[in-house]
Amino acid sequence: MFKVRQYTREDELEWNNFVENSKQGTFLFNRSYMDYHADRFHDCSLMVYRKDRLYALLPANRLILRFIHTKD
């Protein structure tokens, strides 16, 4: 069974260790790089656990859409 939870600042070390030891890890997924741009994005990254062990990461941000409606 998988457990999914949202990333928090307290997870930074665990997140970065996972990225550094993965085959597909790049600096783009390092939290230092991602957090540098935090003023532009609302972070919604997820961490996936399997058998209480970090299994996968999903770097993500929330896009807030604003619609403007005008009456003609």
More confident call, 43 vs 57: 57
Tell me, yes or no, whether 6 lies in a domain: yes
- Contacting residues for 33 by C-beta, under 8 A, at least 6 apart: 27
pLDDT given for residue 69 in this prediction: 62
pTM of the model: 0.77
17-45 pLDDT, tens digit per residue, is 999 998 888 887 888 877 787 777 788 89
The domain total for the chain is: 1
Residue 67 resides in a domain: no
Q: Are 12 and 24 contacting, i.e. CB atoms less than 8 angstroms apart?
A: no
**Residue 70 is assigned to a structural domain of this protein:** no
Note whether residue 49 is domain-resident.
Answer: yes
Is 7 domain-assigned? yes
Determine, yes or no, domain membership for 68: no
Burial (CB count <10 Å: 0-12, 13-18, 19+), residue 10: exposed
